[in-house]
């Protein structure tokens, strides 16, 4: 069944422009158009819909109010919003109802680039209730306000570290984690990092954003002592995989952007396990946790890789990172400078557990002598210290 999308904007010229773009791009999905929130709700009463894209600022019922109603009454629908330069306050007010924001005027190709992965990954989840719970925000939180503010600052013409630090400093939990991570051996700081400005400069804004997502989801789950211990183990594992992923990508490609994306995919690679846990807690079956992916597919409708990748696609993360999460248990293709992000994360995930018997690692070692060099480098201190090298 072809996906169905509804566009909502009070300006007829905007809707006509979208219609022309859809026609020119030979877009295969079914599309409807509404000039108001009320008209959109009337369409939803009579038509199936998978994605709704609404302008935020409209007379009468604004986009935030419309999407709030859609979230409540049609939780399976993915909710995107368009906002103008001077509509930040309206956007922030509706941030807990929107999966992604796009600046107006919005390029159709960009919209399509973000829409298509969501629909492809949604097909992997065979349980409609799971889709509804993830989309509604009942088992995972919406993108936090702080992420939206960091994204806005990152896209500004005059990016300011001072403003970024000011945004982060208002969240004590995030501030503590950033300082903890920047002082950990994983980043090999020569001197102790004592303030947020130093930490942000060292880590970089994209890694900071990934920490915002990670902490946002991990803090959403109600935790008893057993769950707290498990999540702490998962945090330590994720940081190690992130660090190894970055080192592996640097070893093979010397590409700074790919290395950063490998780090981000590494830190987020097991996010789906937290979604699993949240779903099991909701069902009263937390005693089944942690669970194998085969059990997860049967009970929840998806494995942890699919759950994590779907959530990140909802939030609009780059395809390389989403694929890194989706494919981190898939055999990597190791071709020297063409090393993929998902290959780096898969290899890092195996090496982090010292799983040399892992068939993927053995295949990689047997097929590519560079992998032998990499592992020897890590064994001999190629990692930042004993926590990230493969000694002991």
Q: Length of the chain in residues, anyone?
A: 392
Distance of CA 16 to the CA centre of its chain: 32
Distance of CA 286 to the CA centre of its chain: 24
pLDDT value of position 254: 85
Bigger pLDDT: 383 vs 366: 366
Confidence at 353, pLDDT banded by 50, 70, 90: low
Out of 208-212, 336-340, 341-345, least confident range? 336-340
- Residue 168, pLDDT > 70, answer yes
Dihedral of alpha carbons 179, 183, 187, 191, sign: positive
> Between helices 205-218 and 271-283, what is the axis angle to 10°?
20
Q: Which two tokens stand for residue 137?
A: 């925000």
Question: What is the value of pTM for the model shown?
Answer: 0.85
- Residue 362, pLDDT > 60, answer no
pLDDT, tens digit, 9 for 90 and up, residues 170-223: 888 788 878 877 776 555 555 678 788 888 888 888 888 888 888 888 777 766
Confidence at 390, pLDDT banded by 50, 70, 90: very low
pLDDT, tens digit, 9 for 90 and up, residues 302-317: 999 999 999 999 998 8
Residue percentage of the chain with pLDDT more than 70: 83
pLDDT value of position 250: 87
Dihedral of alpha carbons 195, 196, 201, 203, sign: positive
Distance (Å, rounded) from C-alpha 188 to C-alpha 86? 41
Confidence at 8, pLDDT banded by 50, 70, 90: very high
Distance (Å, rounded) from C-alpha 332 to C-alpha 345? 9
Dihedral of alpha carbons 347, 252, 208, 174, sign: positive
89 torsion bin: left (phi>0), alpha (psi -120 to 50), beta (else): alpha
pLDDT, tens digit, 9 for 90 and up, residues 189-202: 556 787 888 888 88
């Amino acid at each position: 069944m072809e996906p169905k999308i509804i566009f909502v904007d009070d300006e007829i010229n905007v809707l006509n422009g979208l219609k022309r773009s859809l026609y020119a791009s030979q877009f295969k999905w079914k599309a409807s158009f509404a000039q108001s929130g009320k008209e959109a709700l009337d369409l939803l009463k009579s038509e199936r819909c998978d994605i709704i894209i609404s302008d935020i600022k409209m007379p009468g019922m604004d986009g935030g109010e419309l999407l709030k109603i859609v979230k409540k009454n049609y939780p399976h629908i993915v909710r995107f919003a368009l906002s103008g330069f001077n509509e930040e306050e309206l956007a922030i007010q509706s941030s807990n109802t929107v999966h992604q924001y796009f600046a107006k005027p919005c390029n159709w190709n960009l919209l399509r680039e973000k829409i298509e992965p969501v629909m492809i990954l949604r097909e992997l989840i065979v349980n409609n209730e799971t889709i509804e719970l993830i989309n509604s925000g009942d088992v995972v939180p919406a993108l936090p306000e702080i992420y939206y503010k960091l994204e806005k600052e990152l896209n500004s013409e005059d990016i300011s570290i001072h403003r970024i630090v000011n945004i982060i400093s208002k969240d004590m939990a995030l501030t503590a984690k950033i300082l903890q991570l920047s002082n950990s051996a994983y980043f090999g700081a020569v001197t102790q990092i004592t303030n947020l400005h130093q930490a942000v400069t060292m880590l970089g804004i994209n890694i900071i954003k990934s920490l915002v997502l990670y902490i946002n989801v991990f803090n959403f789950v109600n935790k008893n002592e057993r769950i707290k211990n498990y999540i702490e183990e998962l945090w330590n594992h994720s940081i190690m995989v992130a660090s190894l992923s970055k080192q592996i990508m640097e070893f093979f490609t010397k590409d700074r952007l790919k290395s950063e994306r490998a780090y981000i995919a590494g830190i987020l690679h097991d996010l789906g396990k937290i979604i699993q846990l949240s779903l099991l807690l909701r069902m009263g079956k937390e005693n089944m946790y942690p669970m194998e992916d085969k059990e997860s597919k049967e009970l929840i409708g998806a494995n942890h890789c699919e759950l994590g990748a779907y959530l990140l696609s909802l939030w609009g993360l780059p395809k390389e990172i989403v694929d890194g999460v989706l494919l981190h248990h898939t055999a990597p293709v190791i071709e020297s400078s063409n090393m993929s992000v998902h290959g780096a994360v898969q290899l890092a995930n195996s090496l982090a557990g010292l799983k040399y018997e892992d068939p993927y690692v053995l295949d990689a070692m047997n097929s590519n002598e560079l992998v032998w060099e990499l592992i020897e480098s890590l064994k001999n201190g190629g990692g930042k210290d004993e926590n990230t090298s493969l000694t002991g």
